[in-house]
Chain A
Amino acid sequence: MNSAMNKPGKTDENSVISIRNLRKSFGDLHVLQGIDLDVKQGENIAVLGRSGTGKSVLIKIIVGLLKPDSGSVVVLGQDVEQLSAKEMDTFRQKVGFSFQSSALYDSMSIRENLEFPLVRNVRNLSRADVDKAVEKALDDVGLSQTINQMPSELSGGQRKRIGIARTLILNPEIMLYDEPTSGLDPITSIEINNLINEVRERINATSIIITHDLTCAKTTSDRVAMLLDGKFERVGTFDDVFADPDERVKQFYNYNFVN
């Protein structure tokens, strides 16, 4: 909150996520070159952009997995860079991160995967409470039957959904989805889209959804942000952004529907 106040006129007080002039390079590769973004409470925003433009890097910076070179990232009123290890742990409980590759723990069963964030973050939970929470989370994504299976026995779509369920089990205030529908068939994709919308309704989460899938962007988001050359060149509603005559934007739209 304080750090947000330090820059009056720059940050929006209603924003849950507020990013100013964020820069990040890996050696000579300048991935993010001045990102500005505000996401309001309860808003879903879709981030579009070609592969390798730094979408994943952006949300990893938001959750503190990567350190920015410069600029400020204020999430839930806290400057992410200034958090101590302990504050970071509490902060991350409020932010759910669904990984591009699902990131299920291969050596653990589905049950162990789901209870992992619970038992690690919430002290003094009874066995029954944990079991109940796990069953509910699995039920929400419609995969109750997989509880005793190992991640390697599941399909890609199932793994994605389990990944989302694992993120949701802590009832986060913010959800970060990294390509939730990539590599899935259209029907499963729609199921995932529905799941994202359900989540939004149920826990009233603020979400950033990274996607290449325009259907997904259209059905789940209030606004769309287009990442081009390390900056959000276009931010607005889906229709506004794609009404843009800019070749780079149009290309993105066309390819999506040609392919």
Chain B
Amino acid sequence: MSTDSTKRNITVGVFVLLGIIIFIAGIFVLGGQQKRFTKSIKIIAVFNDVGGLKAGNNVWFSGVKIGTVKRISFYGTAQVEVDMNIEESSQQFIRKDANATISSDGLIGNKIVVITGGTTSHPEVEDGDRLKTVAALSSDQILETLQENNNNLLRVTKDFKELVGNLRKGKGTVGAVLTDSIVADNFKRAMRNLERASDNTVNLTGSVSKFASRLNTPGSLANQLVTDTTVFRSLKRSATRFESAMTSADQSINTLSRTAENVNKASEKLNNTNSPLGVLLTDGETANKLRTTINNLSTGTELLNEDLKAAQNNFLLRGFFKKKAKAEEKARADSLKAVQQQLPDSTASKP
């Protein structure tokens, strides 16, 4: 009887003790994870827009978590002050001239504060320091640009299609076509659009390459996710897609700049009243150039289209495109087809 109750007491003791050990172990693992027990310093950054950053989000430096966001409060009229706790051990790596950016650890991941730059010529940050901030291109903006860019190209294609169509239909004489101010205007507009598309693409390429490189930065969470398990293959695939988007965007820049050049030359010739109009159109070189321009343009558009489609198939971007692309998609495909059909005709119509 008394041995029974001793046994029971021991059982209860062990039972309770183990439960408490689980609890305390949980607290300690969590503490280690969140580095709550390491010493930290506070630094501040003031942003115009924190894009949904919350207290508790991580702070990264060179792809390594070095702290957390402590507090977010309004600053002045519309700016946002972000207080961050930074581990004391990483203090030495962050210089007073470093920049803080709002970013995310994946296209749909958590918001993070990324600290970049800084030179050793500046002293290391101290408790209470305020970092400069850089507004980053958000993933939304990247997609926005991509879309806009494509629209521009679409417009260019349309313009050329019109132009070519007119040429083919042989509205009056060839000379009439080219002296026709509407046609000339169309041509100029096409050129302007081309230039804009080309600029945008340069911008876009920068953003995409930044994003892709982040995915591949060893040690970053995104990279860990990517290399960790097979599950992340799709994420990795999207990274490569972005990379190929980047390279093809590069290609299209080249194509576009070449095109722009050609068009410039062509319009120069048009504007040159000294040169007879007939020369322009009978000049085989110029005609060829015009043809390659149109060809290049259509391949450039196609490439970008492909990328867009690839991106659309990617889960990360699905929602974005569902909203926007539906109607445009059709129009774009139609116009492309039209251009391609008309191209051989247009060259054939060369006298």
Contacts and interface: CB of A to CB of B under 8 A. Distances in A.
Contacts of B2: 127
Interface string A112-130: 1000000000000001000
Interface string B1-15: 110000000000000
A176 to B, nearest CB: 30
Nearest to A127: B2
Interface residues of B, number: 2
A111 B2 CA distance: 12
Contacts of A112: 1
A127 B1 CA distance: 11
Interface residues of A, number: 4
Nearest to A111: B1
Interface string A163-193: 0000000000000000000000000000000
A109 B1 CA distance: 10
Nearest to B2: A127
A111 B4 CA distance: 14
Interface in B1-46: 1-2
A218 B2 CA distance: 45
A63 B1 CA distance: 32
Contacts of A127: 2
Interface in B251-277: none
A141 to B, nearest CB: 21
Nearest to B1: A111
Contacts of A109: 1
Interface in A87-140: 109, 111-112, 127
Contacts of A111: 1
A16 B159 CA distance: 121
Contacts of B1: 109, 111-112
B12 to A, nearest CB: 16
B221 to A, nearest CB: 56
Nearest to B4: A109
A83 B150 CA distance: 96
Interface in B59-116: none
A119 to B, nearest CB: 12
A127 B2 CA distance: 10
Interface in B277-323: none
A109 B4 CA distance: 13
B89 to A, nearest CB: 59
A111 B1 CA distance: 10
Nearest to A131: B1
What 3 A-B pairs have minimum CB-CB distances, sorted nearest first? A111-B1, A127-B2, A112-B1
Interface of B: 1-2
Interface of A: 109, 111-112, 127
4 contacts: A109-B1, A111-B1, A112-B1, A127-B2
